[in-house]
Amino acid sequence: MNAQKPLAGQAALITGSTSGIGLALADALAGAGADIMLNGLGDADEIEKTRAGLAHEHGVKVLFHGANMTRPDEIADLVATTHKAFGRLDIAIPNAGIQHIAPIEDFPPEKWDAILAINLSSAFHIIRAGVPLMKAQGYGRIINMASTHALVASPFKSAYVAAKHGLAGLTKTVALEVAAHNITCNAICPGYVKTPLVEAQIGPTAKARGISEEDVVRDVLLAAQPTKAFVEYNQLAGLLLYLVSDAGASVNGAMLPVDGGWTAQ
Ligand code: NAD
């Protein structure tokens, strides 16, 4: 094995990897030598720049598939296309996610449906299509991007918290089903990471709570995070690289907090 590129020859699929955490994880896996299938929404020229940049920087194959995570047929095509392009599927990271913040009595039903589809059901569709491929090759690592909100709740996030708690159930169930096949299924549970998803919550949270945006960052977002610091991308990448290494082979069905102590309270 190449010590600098321990994942050389492996193929990784990360949903929602045109931005934020997914892009940072794609970069970390590419840096470790894996070929990458990117996915997500966004401006086509920007995505192409990202794709070409990753491939050039790390000397790996990087492809993009624009499957919408609300469309099971497109998700199945994403998995099949990844396997066809790389001949393998070693690492699958259902990561795409959206947020909407509103009191339960005002929560728009269409937002509930979209959050459940993108944050929970898309992981089911990725895993359902990916597991047979992983079983056939005798190896796989599934890492669901959950959240602290898979373990505890916050007000005004009913759909997000419900979806992430659902992802916890999916993670544990799949872990049991695949354990004897040299496949693991775990979830990373980050606290607050300063991504576009979080930056977009600051205004609506201020409105929902009737406080200023500065107060939201200090008293709402980081209030729960005892370190009083946002989680950094490299701290999530470090855990991911451990989970996909030989050393991580016995970690299975785990919900792994990276939250500065939030869920210790
Ligand atoms: P982000 O908004 O930066 O990225 C979200 C990604 O999902 C983007 O690539 C976007 O294009 C993609 N996406 C959204 N809807 C999609 C759809 N219908 N089809 C395909 N792709 C779609 O957000 P982020 O903060 O990087 O979030 C990534 C994951 O991490 C989410 O599951 C989120 O719940 C989770 N998470 C984030 C934080 C945080 O503090 N940022 C904390 C815990 C968990």
Give per-residue pLDDT as tens, 2-32: 888 999 999 999 999 999 999 999 999 999 9
Residue 265's pLDDT is what?
94
Q: Is 41 in the pocket of ligand 1 (CB under 6 A)?
A: yes
Q: With 80 as the cut, is the pLDDT of residue 71 above it?
A: yes
Q: With 80 as the cut, is the pLDDT of residue 116 above it?
A: yes
Residue 14's pLDDT is what?
99
Residue 70's pLDDT is what?
98
For the chain, domain boundaries = 11-191+233-256, 195-230
* 63-84: average pLDDT: 98
Instruction: For residue 17, report the distance from its CA to the centre of ligand 1, in Å.
Output: 8
Please tell me the pTM assigned to this model: 0.96
Mutation to probe ligand 1, out of 14, 15, 18, 21 (largest number of atoms < 8 A from CB): 21
Please identify, by atom number, the ligand 1 atom nearest to the C-alpha of residue 200: 2
- Chain centroid to Cα 164, Å, comes to 11
Q: Please enumerate in sequence order all residues whose Cβ is within 8 A of that of 146, keeping only pairs 6 or more positions apart, or say none.
A: 164, 167, 168, 171, 187, 188, 189, 255
Which of the following is catalytic: 139, 160, 192, 242?
160
Q: Give which of 80, 135, 231, 165 is closest to 240, Cα–Cα.
A: 231
Q: Which tokens go with 225? A: 């995070």
> Over the stretch 212-252, which tens digit does the pLDDT of each residue have?
998 998 898 899 899 989 999 999 999 999 999 999 999 99
Q: Please enumerate in sequence order all residues whose Cβ is within 8 A of that of 229, keeping only pairs 6 or more positions apart, or say none.
A: 222, 260
Helix segments in the chain, DSSP class H: 20-31, 44-58, 72-86, 109-116, 122-137, 158-178, 196-209, 213-215, 233-243
Instruction: For residue 21, report the distance from its CA to the centre of ligand 1, in Å.
Output: 7
User: Which CATH code of 3.30.2130.30, 3.40.50.1820, 3.90.1150.10, 3.40.50.720 fits the domain covering 11-191+233-256?
Assistant: 3.40.50.720
Average pLDDT, the chain: 97
Instruction: For residue 106, report the distance from its CA to the centre of ligand 1, in Å.
Output: 23
Instruction: For residue 22, report the distance from its CA to the centre of ligand 1, in Å.
Output: 7
Residue 221's pLDDT is what?
86
Mutation to probe ligand 1, out of 27, 98, 119 (largest number of atoms < 8 A from CB): 98
Q: With 80 as the cut, is the pLDDT of residue 1 above it?
A: no
Q: With 80 as the cut, is the pLDDT of residue 179 above it?
A: yes
Closest C-alpha residue for ligand 1 atom 41 = 193
pLDDT tier at 46, thresholds 50, 70, 90: very high
Annotated active-site residue 160? The verdict is yes
* 203-215: average pLDDT: 92
Closest C-alpha residue for ligand 1 atom 32 = 97
Residue 178's pLDDT is what?
98
